[in-house]
Structure 1
């Protein structure tokens, strides 16, 4: 069952075209939908992450954030009006994190890295309140505005290029996800 679901996610083929060795396509499809709706996949992910954290395989010294666009295939359009509305494109954040509900030892990283899209006062304030260091490059207009305000503009942000180079970890993770065709492009009309 799980191999059939993973095969479909990897190839992006229509559910009806699943190989016979996966079993009935309808059964595989229904199981995937049910597990998505009832949170089974989320619980599996959390359990795997909690095990990795317990074994010390999660690096809490640096967490990177980024987002990506997932396109909708032309056949994904035209869902029933009773179905939830799904935009043609959606942005989904990718980040490393561990499960809070399963008793992990850490609750926050030492450092957060992101690109200019995450460099807002609100994000920086949120991280400072939680005593989390951050490496978020300041866009030129924000830097100029801060300098124009003088002493009222706040402190210049320290920018560690060595730490910023590690941000490519999240880029590589997103690229690995997008090797799964059904993740990179939404083919289904349903959520």
Structure 2
């Protein structure tokens, strides 16, 4: 499993937490957070995988435009998924329409 996060989540504790659970961290190194430069092997980072993260973030910002979907008042997961599908259909209709 791989987690992609922005540079604000570049912390030793977060990387260690993920490593202990067998999760790879795809986080760019935030040079401003290091007091002393890290020596040794650099952290793994895949820029192509990181670019895909922005598509997901744009999707969630689109979904937040629908006020009913954001707070999630639905009791069941399938009704929430139905609202997300309806919101996606509305967005496609706006773009194509």
Task: Give yes or no for TM over 0.5.
Answer: yes
Mapping for residues 142-157 of structure 1, pairs under 5 Å: 142=33, 145-147=36-38, 150=39, 155-157=41-43
Structure 1 residue aligned with 2:50: 164
Relative to total residues, which structure has the larger helix share, 1 or 2?
Answer: 2
Please identify the structure whose Cα radius of gyration is greater.
1
Give the distance between the partners of 2:36 and 2:53, measured in 1 at CA.
26
Relative to total residues, which structure has the larger strand share, 1 or 2?
Answer: 1
Structure 2 residue aligned with 1:174: 60
Q: Which runs of 5+ in 1 are unaligned?
A: 1-109, 185-191
Structure 1 residue aligned with 2:25: 134
The answer to which structure, 1 or 2, has the higher relative contact order (CA under 8 A, 6+ apart) is 1
Q: Classify the secondary structure of the residue corresponding to 1:145.
A: coil
Mapping for residues 74-93 of structure 1, pairs under 5 Å: none
Q: Which runs of 5+ in 2 are unaligned?
A: 72-97
Across the aligned residues of Structure 1 and Structure 2, the Cα RMSD in angstroms comes to: 2.3
By how many angstroms is 1:181 displaced? 3.4
Q: What count of residue pairs does the alignment treat as equivalent?
A: 70
Give the distance between the partners of 2:44 and 2:35, measured in 1 at CA.
15
By how many angstroms is 1:161 displaced? 0.8
By how many angstroms is 1:143 displaced? 5.2
Give the distance between the partners of 2:33 and 2:50, measured in 1 at CA.
19
Return the TM-score normalized by structure 2: 0.58
